[in-house]
Amino acid sequence: MNQKKIIIITGQTATGKTSLALKKARLENGELISADSRQAYKHLDIITGKDLPLGSKFHKVEEKNGFDIGYYLINPEPITHNPKLWLYDIVDPKQYFSSFDYESLAIPLIKQILDQGKTPIVVGGTYFYLYNLLYDIDTNVPPNWELRKELDNKSVEQLQQMLKKINPKLFESLNESDRQNPRRLIRKIEISKATEPPRLRRSETTGEPRRLNEITLKEKLGLKDLEVEYIGLRFKNKDSLHEAIKIRVKERLKSGAIEEVKNLLKMGYKETDPGLKTIGYREIIKYLKTHNPSPITHNQMSQEWQIHEHQYAKRQYTFMKKDPNIKWKEV
């Protein structure tokens, strides 16, 4: 019981990651750290499924790099062991938030929880965040939002030409999917334009596949010895996935999803804000639009939401299943 331990729980959407995390928290004296790119946004509560008991309060602890760090208590009533839940409500829906930001916030929290002799339980479906947390991200080029904004107007063709010009080798190393992907092209241009020469991975220069075996989180924490329990939850078949998502969407609609969107719009948030580019919000905004050239019914909105949620769940698994360290559990 002396060895330090961290638990990572990820997996497909709607598999019950949070409830597993809570169970673990009870058993192992744990605190939860969310790894969810949507629950990191303030005001996005019902649709992103922040399962907080009524009347929960956000306890802000500090402000770091412009992000709010704080926690919720899982139980509203004071009880003996009341685990904290961190990294909800970090940023405003208008703000951008990156996997790097996530890592920079999560690492000190993990350390702190370990120092208290507790077990950090990192839980969430944003595998990209976990990927960067657990493994290495080997570039040192931060996002340049001004450049990105400027390049957002360019066509894919133009972006390709630009990259080919400033970094032909990198362009050649891209696969077809990335070559057609404006976001990825912009990122590559951003890296290539950076004044500091980036420490590029071999995969980007030689095309060699990246090795994904060794979890480097220990080194990042400065710990020699750390037990990592890394669990992934997935659906055992398509039916259970569809069923779970159907129930989830209906429940969220019943608990006021539409009102949540209306309020956000009233507060001045727009569909183009980073936080609202999220499944559920998109479909409801489309449904609420009065001047929509092709209006959809409530039922269609619900269907589309469900479909996009399925597709997301499948994409998640496609990405995650390449990680050899995940111990899968079916639900």
Partner RNA sequence: GCUGAGGUAGCCAAGGUGGUCACGGCGGAGGUCUGAAAAACCCCAGAUGUCAGUUCGACUCUGACCCUCAGCA
**Which is nearer to RNA, 84 or 252 (by Cβ)?**
252
d(CA 238, CA 235) in angstroms, rounded, equals: 7
CB atoms within 10 A of CB 39: 24
Secondary-structure percent of the chain, ordered helix, strand, coil, rounded to 5: 45, 15, 40
Residue 26: CB minimum distance to RNA, A: 23
d(CA 11, CA 234) in angstroms, rounded, equals: 6
**Which is nearer to RNA, 117 or 168 (by Cβ)?**
168
3-state secondary structure of 284: helix
Residue 3: CB minimum distance to RNA, A: 30
Residue 48: CB minimum distance to RNA, A: 4
d(CA 260, CA 217) in angstroms, rounded, equals: 37
**Which is nearer to RNA, 118 or 123 (by Cβ)?**
123
Task: Check if the beta carbon of residue 125 is closer than 8 Å to that of residue 17.
Answer: yes
**Which is nearer to RNA, 87 or 118 (by Cβ)?**
87
217's torsion region: left (phi>0), alpha (psi -120 to 50) or beta?
alpha
d(CA 140, CA 24) in angstroms, rounded, equals: 35
Residue 116: CB minimum distance to RNA, A: 27
First to last CA, the chain: 29
Residue 191: CB minimum distance to RNA, A: 7
Residue 27: CB minimum distance to RNA, A: 25
Residue 6: CB minimum distance to RNA, A: 20
> Residue 5's beta-bridge partner residues?
227
**Which is nearer to RNA, 152 or 227 (by Cβ)?**
152
The CA-atom distances, in angstroms, between 330 and each of 20, 32, 228 are 12, 22, 20
Q: What are phi and psi of 159, to 5 degrees?
A: -65, -40
Task: Check if the beta carbon of residue 47 is closer than 8 Å to that of residue 278.
Answer: yes
**Which is nearer to RNA, 4 or 33 (by Cβ)?**
33
Residue 318: CB minimum distance to RNA, A: 4
DSSP character string of 156-212:
HHHHHHHHHHH-HHHHHH--HHHHT-HHHHHHHHHHHH-SSPP---HHHHH-PPPP-
Interface ranges with RNA (CB under 7 A):
13, 36-39, 47-49, 96-101, 104, 125-129, 131-132, 136-143, 148, 151-152, 175-178, 180-184, 186-187, 191, 201-204, 209-210, 238, 274, 277-280, 307-312, 314-316, 318-319, 322
**Which is nearer to RNA, 81 or 238 (by Cβ)?**
238
**Which is nearer to RNA, 74 or 119 (by Cβ)?**
74
**Which is nearer to RNA, 112 or 139 (by Cβ)?**
139
Residue 86: CB minimum distance to RNA, A: 16
The CA-atom distances, in angstroms, between 89 and each of 98, 123, 162, 198, 202 are 14, 15, 37, 32, 36
